Amino acid sequence: MKATKRPIQAVARWLRRQPPKMKVFLAVVSGLAALFFLRMVVHDHDNLFVAAEVVHSIGISVLIYKLMKEKTCAGLSLKSQELTAIFLAVRLYCSFVMEYDIHTLLDSATLLTTLWVIYTIRFNLRSSYMEDKDNFAIYYLVIPCAVLALFIHPRTHHHIVNRVCWAFCVYLESISVLPQLQVMQNTKIVEPFTAHYVFALGVARFLGCAHWVLQVLDTRGHLLTAMGYGLWPFYGPTFRNCADFHSC
């Protein structure tokens, strides 16, 4: 085990010594390599979106384990959890009225666990909640996402309200982790469970983005036109399947 850890620790130390530009370059190269690997291995790319939701659920499970085992919510952002609950609730509504499928079940489970985390932080473990560190004003995120969704949303056969709601949850999901990142920056301490949760969110976002990119490549750009005109195709990377837009 120690022999296995030493190369990993050496690579981690080497990465920490690299300048920011090199880190960005390595991240881009790693992302492209991962995309190529996923395209070769995963034949039904809609499974990537399912995988993203599963990884998100795993991240929430890590939080639940932390809260139940350590009996503390120190280092966690309640506001990130509230933003997560908001976009999950909106996405769940959209799933019911637009495309009831396995995603609806996964979103339902994730929303319930997220609400449990919120309740636990607010009431059961309130004394350990770092409210002074969790000082990101969430209306700075919610309001711009709502305004952006009004002007930039998919052009499909669905009702305008549903299309705006879907765009809103896509935008809010992409930035919901910001309050958590600020808490980590304010405390200057990253607890293992919190780091694992944030890592899970990063993996989930990457899989969602990979789903979008590979769908566009497989359809030779048809997915872009199937969703309508304007800026939405470039702002909405988490639409699940281009089959939903064939009747547009």
Residues 217-245: tens digit of each pLDDT: 766 655 555 555 545 555 554 444 443 43
Buried b (16+ CB within 10 A) or exposed e, 104-138: bebbeebbebbbebbebbeeebeeebbeebbebeb
Share of the chain above pLDDT 70, in %: 79
Which three-class secondary structure string do you get for the chain?
Answer: CHHHHHHHHHHHHHHHHCCHHHHHHHHHHHHHHHHHHHHHHCCCCHHHHHHHHHHHHHHHHHHHHHHHHHCCCCCCCHHHHHHHHHHHHHHHHHHHHHCCCHHHHHHHHHHHHHHHHHHHHHHHCHHHCCCCCCCCCCHHHHHHHHHHHHHCCCCCCCCHHHHHHHHHHHHHHHHCCHHHHHHHHHHCCCCHHHHHHHHHHHHHHHHHHHHHHHHHHHCCCHHHHHCCCCCHHHHCCCCCCHHHHCCC
Pick the more confident residue, 131 or 9.
Answer: 131
Q: From its phi and psi, is residue 18 left (phi > 0), alpha (psi between -120 and 50) or beta?
A: beta
Does the structure show a pLDDT above 90 at 59? Answer: no
Residue type for position 232: W
First to last CA, the chain: 56
210, HSE (Cβ side, Cα atoms, 13 Å): 29
Q: pLDDT band for 90, please (50, 70, 90 cuts).
A: very high
Least confident range from 87-96, 121-130, 184-193, 219-228: namely 219-228
- The pLDDT score that the predictor gives to residue 117 is 93
Average pLDDT over residues 137-160: 86
- pLDDT tens readout for residues 13-30: 777 777 777 767 777 777
> How many Cβ atoms are within 10 Å of 152's Cβ, its own excluded?
16
Q: pLDDT band for 78, please (50, 70, 90 cuts).
A: very high
- The pLDDT score that the predictor gives to residue 248 is 38
Contact 168, 145 (CB under 8 A): yes
Q: What angle do CA 115, 119, 120 make, to 5 degrees?
A: 115
Q: pLDDT band for 43, please (50, 70, 90 cuts).
A: confident
Tokens at residue 63, please?
Answer: 């939080």
Average pLDDT, the chain: 78
Q: From its phi and psi, is residue 239 left (phi > 0), alpha (psi between -120 and 50) or beta?
A: beta
- The pLDDT score that the predictor gives to residue 232 is 55
Average pLDDT over residues 104-127: 90
Contact 211, 52 (CB under 8 A): yes
pTM as predicted? 0.77
